[in-house]
Structure formats: C-alpha cells, structure tokens
Amino acid sequence: RKEVEQDPGPFNVPEGATVAFNCTYSNSASQSFFWYRQDCRKEPKLLMSVYSSGNEDGRFTAQLNRASQYISLLIRDSKLSDSATYLCVVRPYSGGGADGLTFGKGTHLIIQP
C-alpha cells in the first residue's frame, strides 16, 4: 500500500463550481498534514496546513479524519487560476525536528471557463 494515495484525475470542473479532493495515508502515527499546490513546471508551494478540527482559508477548506486516515480539500467558487496539481502531504513525526515530507502523486485540477 502506498503511503499517501490520491486520485490523479484530471478533474475537469467549470469555473465557479465546488470541487473536493480526498487522500488517504497509511501511517497511523502521522502527525502533520498539508496540501501543497504545484503549477506546471514549477516547484510545490504550501497551500495550507490541515488541522484536526478542520480549517478554512478563504475559498479553501481542509479537513482531517484520523480514524479513517484521510484528508480532504474543498475548493468553493473555483477560479481559472486554481488549475494546478494538488499534492497531499504527510509528515510522520511531530518531534523537535522538521523531518522529511511524504507526498502523494497529486490530483490534477483543470478549471474550465
């Protein structure tokens, strides 16, 4: 089983629609969770952290379900500029160190006008 699994898509969504992605992770000891965004031929950039209570940043909402070991990202009122690959990211330890991240392969989102 892969450590972090995502549906690769692509998700083709009309502008203004709401879209949701999920990902699952295999390491139950994982402590920190993130969504990164990667544009074509660019580096990954942090979109938002994911907290146990769920969190919102503008049009973006992230949720964590530890019991089922999945993470979700909801994008409301999607914009053309939201077209990108969204990477689900897990860090296994919460110790003093930063530790390496484990990335899913990403979900490709295309917002259509």
Partner 1 sequence: DAGVIQSPRHEVTEMGQEVTLRCKPISGHDYLFWYRQTMMRGLELLIYFNNNVPIDDSGMPEDRFSAKMPNASFSTLKIQPSEPRDSAVYFCASSPSSGRGKTQYFGPGTRLLVL
Question: Footprint of partner 1 on this chain (CB under 8 A)?
Answer: 32, 34, 42-46, 49, 87, 96-106
CA distances from 103 to 55, 59, 110 (A): 20, 23, 20
Instruction: Kindly tell me which of 76 and 101 has the beta carbon lying closer to partner 1.
Output: 101
Q: How far is the CB of 31 from partner 1 (least distance, A)?
A: 11
Tell me whether strands 107-112 and 11-14 are parallel, antiparallel or unpaired.
parallel
Place of tokens 């450590």: 3
Q: How far is the CB of 92 from partner 1 (least distance, A)?
A: 11
Instruction: Kindly tell me which of 28 and 43 has the beta carbon lying closer to partner 1.
Output: 43
- Angle of CA points 98, 33, 38, to nearest 5°: 90
Instruction: Kindly tell me which of 58 and 97 has the beta carbon lying closer to partner 1.
Output: 97
